[in-house]
Structure 1
Amino acid sequence: MRVLLSTIGSRGDVQPLVALALELRALGQDVRLCVPPDFRAWIEGLGMPVTPLGPELRSTGRADPSAPRPTPEQVRRMMESTVAAQFDTLTAAARDRDLMVGATALQIAAPSVAERMGIPYVFASYCPCLLPSRHHAPPVLTMLGDTPAAPAPDVGALWELDGLRWNDMWGAGLNARRVPLGLAPVDDVRAHVLTARPWLAADPTLGPWPDPADGAVFQTGAWILPDERPLSSELEAFLDAGEPPVYFGFGSMRAPAGLSRAMIESARALGRRAIVLRGWAELSLTDDGPDCLAIGEVNQQALFPRVAAVVHHGGAGTTTAAARAGAPQVVMPQYYDQPYWALRVGELGIGTAHAPGAPTTESLRVALERALHPDVAVRARTVAASVRADGARIAAERLVAAGGA
């Protein structure tokens, strides 16, 4: 079977798809990936072909969060251009494929391309909150430092509004490309993109589907890519030089001014050393004190079991990695699925969420102190034992057995 796997986003969006690709290849399948060009060299180094999709994304982590937001007309043009580029790229990449899998909700053109090609299409979400349910609200769009509005008491009304936003953002651009292909116009973009039976690539303990009996969602478990990379000698030496430090990392997220200082000073206020992941925001240390270390891309699976706590943005991948390691967490959510994961970390008792608003040394110290309580560490280790690592294999076997049905 010839499979096309496609996603748009940062490493947290791409890496699970690579895990699925490797499982499919181990089962003898022919796999191609459509991902942002940032990840082409890495994936081709694993021996799998890549078709670049969209522009490079790394620069978004360094964007000024205080810059003026685009006008509605600028957003409209950007959305239409994005959809058009997806149609062109995915059509070429899918020409010889038997099945397509799209991960993350920005795959606006993917189901239409699969429909036009006459091949099965599977949509997979990494978080339950993207999929409509009466048990949770839809994803939110805020930035770190914003104070999100209080959720409306009527979850159904929120999902109705969410559906209207999908249509407003993507409807015109999607139908402008579907109709010339002889495809019927879509009047419910969200339902079209998410499909009638989406897959949920999230761990059942961390992000359970709340209506498992309805059969509308197939939960595979998280797609985790095994990481055998050793830690650098510098990092090993730092870890060995004292008590377990606190890890601070925000991946591809933007960072408000002063975040590095607030992180380091909050750790010092509790007598802790700090490891700071530079990330796409290029965070740096505030001084050359021996109690802090800045690092680049790192094997979280090797590092997280050796830290006192993980302070992060709340992406699905980092939340799952910290939970598997049994490390207490402090989640500082910005947008999309991150508030959901912050809520789940608190509900499970394996950490805490940072208070809404811009982080300060004191606000981070308070959150970190709660996460470092011995009871939280015990609970985190208990939950770690229930987090599964076979989601990508389950998904791959399902795709091969059912041809994506």
Structure 2
Amino acid sequence: MRVLLTGVGTRGDVQPVVALAVEMRRRGHDVRLCVPPNFIDWAGGMGFKATPIGIAMRQPSGAAAAPASVPTPEQIRALVAHLVRDQFDATASAAEGCDVIVAGGAHQYAARSVAERLGIPSVVAVYAPVSLPSPDHWPVGEPGGDPESNLKRWQDESRSWNERLLERLNESRERLGLGPLSDALGHILGATPWLATDPVLAPLPATPGLKVTETGAWLLPDQAPLAPELEVFLAAGEPPVYVGFGSMPVDQQTGRIVIEAVRAAGRRVVLSQGWAELGLVDDAADGIAIGDVNQQALFPRVAAVVHHGGAGTTTAAARAGVPQVIVPMFADQPYWASRVRALGIGTSVARAALSAESLAAALGGALDQGVAARAAAIAGTVAVDGTAVAADLIERASA
């Protein structure tokens, strides 16, 4: 079977797709990838032929600290038009000769249309329940609220998607010889989307009109060793606190706040520099700054994980059995913060309320023995076969 897997966005959007690609290749299938330009070399290093799609989300070194100008409505419309056309062109080119298309993430504008044109199966998988219209939650927000209000917000969300995308989608569909759409979000998700999340961490919500399959999270096995200097640091004292905000555009002041908070809690810190290129505030021996790291190897050796609440990091920390402190910023991150609190495996601090004092208090709560015990207990329930479940579904759909 020849399968096209496509992912757009940051590492958290792309890595699950690559994880599924690894499983499909292991089963002997011919795998093609569409990933953003800044992930082409990464995918190639694992032996995959990849087509660039979309834009590189990461800014050049040093740019993260510079103030970003707010785009004008005209610039936003131009960017959306470019992204839609680019996705259609890249996906259509890569999909020639394929038997199925699997697209990871909610912003997959072209995958289902291209599959329709080729007459092959396709599916879109999302990485958080709040990407699915439901009376149980707001769009990409926390669970809760009354069902009627939640559905009203989803109706507003659907109109917003139409305003941004519908004209552009129909222009590109016309180029493929396809008829026009009236519901952009409904078309992108389709009637049978997948939810690539762990069912304990992220229970399937009510989804009227949709038949959703929860596969489990798509986890990429990582055998990379930890850097020697990190090994030395870990061995030099009690388990430290890991702090990292991934691709989030945080500033250096945030780095200073988190280091001060961890010190106030009496812990050492492993600071992930991330896309913001955070750095230590001094040369004290109680901290180390690191680049990309094998979270699967590191997290079981730390006392707690402080992070932004991305689906991948939340799942990795839960799988490692360590408490979490989430500082959610946007999109699905407030949802993951709410789930960590609901399960009793960690705490959270609103981004607007972040200070050394508030984070130190949240960290103290996360390090409570009861929270640590619940986190350890949850670890054994996190499924690790999400890619196998998804691969089984792909094989059955193409049989």
Normalising by the smaller structure, the TM-score range is over 0.9
- 2:78 aligned residue: 77
Match of 1:304 among 299, 304, 311: 299
- Counterpart residue identity of residue 251, structure 1: G
> How far off its partner does 1:182 sit?
2.2
Asked whether the 8 Å contact 2:191–2:210 carries over to 1, the reply is no
Q: Can you list the C-alpha shifts for 1:79-107, whole angstroms capped at 9, x where unaligned?
A: 01110111111111111211101111121
Instruction: Determine the C-alpha separation between the residues in 2 that align with 1:64 and 1:234.
Output: 26
- 1:111 aligned residue: 112
> How far off its partner does 1:68 sit?
3.2
Asked whether the 8 Å contact 2:166–2:181 carries over to 1, the reply is yes
More deviation, 94-103/356-365: 356-365
> How far off its partner does 1:32 sit?
0.5
Asked whether the 8 Å contact 1:128–1:209 carries over to 2, the reply is yes
> Which is bigger in relative contact order (C-alpha 8 A, separation at least 6)?
1
Asked whether the 8 Å contact 1:310–1:330 carries over to 2, the reply is yes
- Counterpart residue identity of residue 240, structure 2: P
Match of 1:159 among 154, 177, 186: 154
Asked whether the 8 Å contact 2:136–2:145 carries over to 1, the reply is no
Question: Does 1:30 find its partner at 2:25?
Answer: no
- Counterpart residue identity of residue 3, structure 2: V
Instruction: Determine the C-alpha separation between the residues in 2 that align with 1:42 and 1:183.
Output: 34
Match of 1:262 among 241, 257, 262: 257
**Structure-2 change in CA distance of 1:300 and 1:121 (3 Å):** same
- 1:242 aligned residue: 237
Asked whether the 8 Å contact 2:104–2:125 carries over to 1, the reply is yes
> How far off its partner does 1:399 sit?
0.6
Asked whether the 8 Å contact 1:60–1:254 carries over to 2, the reply is no
Match of 1:221 among 213, 216, 224: 216
> How far off its partner does 1:133 sit?
1.1
**Structure-2 change in CA distance of 1:272 and 1:285 (3 Å):** same
- 1:325 aligned residue: 320
Instruction: Determine the C-alpha separation between the residues in 2 that align with 1:377 and 1:101.
Output: 37
> How far off its partner does 1:181 sit?
2.5
- 1:55 aligned residue: 55
- 2:8 aligned residue: 8
Q: Spell out the pairing of 1:2-401 with structure 2 (5 A cutoff).
A: 2-59=2-59, 62-63=63-64, 66-140=67-141, 154-211=149-206, 216-401=211-396
Asked whether the 8 Å contact 1:80–1:172 carries over to 2, the reply is no
**Structure-2 change in CA distance of 1:109 and 1:318 (3 Å):** same
**Structure-2 change in CA distance of 1:333 and 1:172 (3 Å):** same
**Structure-2 change in CA distance of 1:64 and 1:112 (3 Å):** farther
The SS at the match of 1:102 is: strand
More deviation, 299-308/202-211: 202-211
More deviation, 254-263/176-185: 176-185
The SS at the match of 1:20 is: helix
More deviation, 359-368/341-350: 359-368
Query: What TM-score comes out, normalization by structure 2 length?
Result: 0.95
Identity over aligned pairs, percent: 53
Asked whether the 8 Å contact 1:326–1:381 carries over to 2, the reply is yes
> How far off its partner does 1:184 sit?
1.3
**Deviation beyond 6 Å, 4+ runs, structure 1:** 150-153, 212-215
More deviation, 12-21/344-353: 12-21
- Counterpart residue identity of residue 34, structure 1: C
**Structure-2 change in CA distance of 1:168 and 1:215 (3 Å):** closer
Asked whether the 8 Å contact 2:103–2:123 carries over to 1, the reply is yes
Instruction: Determine the C-alpha separation between the residues in 2 that align with 1:168 and 1:211.
Output: 26
Instruction: Determine the C-alpha separation between the residues in 1 that align with 2:41 and 2:26.
Output: 21
Asked whether the 8 Å contact 1:33–1:51 carries over to 2, the reply is yes
More deviation, 127-136/63-72: 63-72
Instruction: Determine the C-alpha separation between the residues in 2 that align with 1:201 and 1:83.
Output: 24
Instruction: Determine the C-alpha separation between the residues in 1 that align with 2:3 and 2:324.
Output: 36
> How far off its partner does 1:151 sit?
7.4
Query: What TM-score comes out, normalization by structure 1 length?
Result: 0.94
- Counterpart residue identity of residue 336, structure 1: A
- Counterpart residue identity of residue 25, structure 1: R
More deviation, 177-186/227-236: 177-186
Instruction: Determine the C-alpha separation between the residues in 2 that align with 1:374 and 1:398.
Output: 41
Size of the aligned set, in residue pairs, is 396
Q: Can you list the C-alpha shifts for 1:38-94, whole angstroms capped at 9, x where unaligned?
A: 111121121111111122222189445853321222111110111011111111111
- Counterpart residue identity of residue 5, structure 1: L
- Counterpart residue identity of residue 33, structure 1: L
The SS at the match of 2:242 is: strand
- Counterpart residue identity of residue 104, structure 1: G
The SS at the match of 1:34 is: strand
Instruction: Determine the C-alpha separation between the residues in 1 that align with 2:138 and 2:266.
Output: 38
- Counterpart residue identity of residue 231, structure 1: L
> How far off its partner does 1:270 sit?
1.1
Instruction: Determine the C-alpha separation between the residues in 2 that align with 1:213 and 1:70.
Output: 36
Structure 1: unaligned runs, 5 residues or longer: 141-147
Instruction: Determine the C-alpha separation between the residues in 2 that align with 1:47 and 1:278.
Output: 27
> How far off its partner does 1:359 sit?
2.0
- Over the residues paired in the alignment, what is the CA RMSD in angstroms? 2.0
Instruction: Determine the C-alpha separation between the residues in 1 that align with 2:37 and 2:65.
Output: 22
Instruction: Determine the C-alpha separation between the residues in 2 that align with 1:213 and 1:359.
Output: 37
> How far off its partner does 1:373 sit?
0.9
> How far off its partner does 1:401 sit?
2.0
Instruction: Determine the C-alpha separation between the residues in 1 that align with 2:140 and 2:312.
Output: 17
Instruction: Determine the C-alpha separation between the residues in 1 that align with 2:84 and 2:210.
Output: 30
